[in-house]
């Protein structure tokens, strides 16, 4: 081995919680005690400078470029490896613009569009028929991905204790399945907001297909502009959107929600969460979710109290998201050739790394997902027990 290769092996030896093999410069090196659980082949090693600047970006780009190959199942390897992310190096000073990007409206719209406007045809390849791009709820072991997504929406709508004629706002409505179900099953009037042109277009098509033009509408709108609608809603829901808001804007987000809610109204916040406050992973920010920040559960609870939101219920769905991501990756692999034809091999490797690494971080408890049910001020009219468990 060269001196550079020896230095690289020495760096990688810090990740020794689970035994694995590395092939570097044609030589095999074992790291950790016991029988190796996976094998990594480096056709070209990342520079020490890049590893120290961002271990995540260095290894992620090596995989994307085919300079790093995993023998066997990618998820299995990542599940063993990513539980050690606390040992990654990240130079936040050198990566300041990437890790702490602007939370202004124009930049956040650009960031959201960079992910969700990749194209509806792309997402249709590996999402289920509901076009739901958030954690499912696997009520039964035999539930399919589509059933799990229907379960999730059914559970959310039950938690919101909807009644016919109520108004419901969905902040970050995606392709609209939740509002479609709410209008069809509960007779509510709904408004969805999104910053994605592609999602808005598809949702409008689905509204027309279901003949719900009198009950539903979708707006291309920033959450900060919600009060300009001049509507007070009985219920508000937000699923997988607050992660795009940015830490500095959490209070503004919660204030904007409160301003459009009727007193005693219910607000369900579903979000990827963390145990502690963290600025986010550099590779994910560079390639998947620019500007994305995962809130801690405690900071959202703290801010909610400041806005006079009362907490009714908190539920963790961490392992449900692990399974959801594995289902997505299974679908993705079945259509991988089509993805390569749409984009290229590097994009396909990037996306499978994203799906499998996220599944692994949920399994390892690095991130979680929570649903919190709030009331806007005190509400003594909702049931005293967990009515949605019927």
Looking only at the bridges linking them, the beta strands covering 68-71 and 39-42 are antiparallel
Give the number of other Cβ atoms within 10 Å of residue 310's Cβ: 14
Q: Is 358 a catalytic residue?
A: yes
CA distances from 149 to 125, 132, 152, 325 (A): 16, 7, 5, 12
Q: Which candidate, 204, 46, 194, places its Cα nearest to that of 113?
A: 194
d(CA 157, CA 188): 11
Contact (CB, 8 A) for 22 and 9? yes
CA atoms within 13 A on the CB side of 109: 14
Q: Which residues contact 380 (CB under 8 A, 6 or more apart)?
A: none
Q: Which of 135, 169, 327, 358 is catalytic?
A: 358
- Token pair 């408004």: residue: 191
User: Which pair of structure tokens corresponds to residue 52?
Assistant: 């120290």
Supply angle C-alpha 24, 29, 33, rounded to 5: 150
Distances (CA, A) of 123 to 32, 113, 131, 170, 253: 39, 14, 8, 20, 27
| Residues annotated as catalytic (active site), given as ranges | 358
């Amino acid at each position: 081995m060269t001196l550079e290769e020896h230095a690289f092996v020495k760096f990688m030896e810090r990740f020794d919680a689970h035994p694995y093999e590395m092939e570097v410069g044609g030589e095999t090196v074992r790291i950790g005690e016991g029988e190796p659980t996976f094998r990594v082949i480096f056709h070209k090693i990342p520079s020490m400078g890049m590893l120290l600047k961002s271990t995540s970006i260095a290894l992620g780009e090596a995989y994307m470029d085919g300079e790093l190959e995993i023998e066997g199942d990618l998820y299995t390897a990542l599940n063993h490896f990513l539980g050690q992310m606390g040992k990654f190096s990240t130079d936040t000073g050198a990566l300041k613009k990437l890790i702490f990007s602007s939370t202004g409206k124009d930049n956040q719209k650009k960031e959201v569009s960079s992910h969700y406007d990749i194209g509806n045809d792309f997402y249709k390849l590996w999402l289920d028929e509901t076009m739901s791009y958030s954690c499912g709820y696997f009520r039964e072991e035999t539930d399919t991905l589509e059933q799990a997504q229907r379960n999730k929406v059914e559970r959310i709508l039950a938690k919101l204790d909807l009644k016919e004629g109520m108004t419901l706002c969905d902040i970050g409505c995606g392709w609209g399945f939740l509002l479609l179900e709410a209008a069809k099953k509960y007779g509510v009037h709904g408004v969805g907001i999104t910053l994605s042109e592609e999602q808005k277009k598809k949702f409008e098509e689905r509204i027309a297909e279901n003949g719900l033009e009198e009950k539903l509408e979708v707006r291309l709108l920033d959450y900060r502009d919600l009060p300009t609608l001049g509507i007070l809603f009985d219920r508000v829901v937000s699923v997988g959107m607050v992660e795009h808001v940015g830490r500095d804007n959490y209070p503004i987000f919660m204030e904007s929600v409160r301003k459009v809610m009727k007193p005693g109204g219910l607000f369900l916040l579903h979000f990827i969460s963390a145990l502690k406050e963290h600025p986010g992973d550099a590779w994910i920010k560079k390639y998947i979710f620019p500007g994305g920040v995962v809130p801690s559960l405690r900071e959202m609870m703290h801010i909610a109290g400041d806005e006079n939101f009362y907490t009714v219920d908190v539920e963790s769905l961490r392992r449900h998201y692990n399974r959801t991501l594995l289902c997505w990756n299974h679908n993705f692999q079945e259509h991988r050739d089509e993805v390569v034809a749409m984009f290229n091999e590097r994009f396909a490797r990037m996306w499978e790394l994203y799906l499998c690494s996220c599944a692994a971080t949920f399994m390892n408890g690095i991130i979680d997902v929570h649903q919190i049910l709030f009331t806007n001020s005190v509400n003594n009219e909702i049931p005293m027990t967990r009515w949605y468990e019927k």
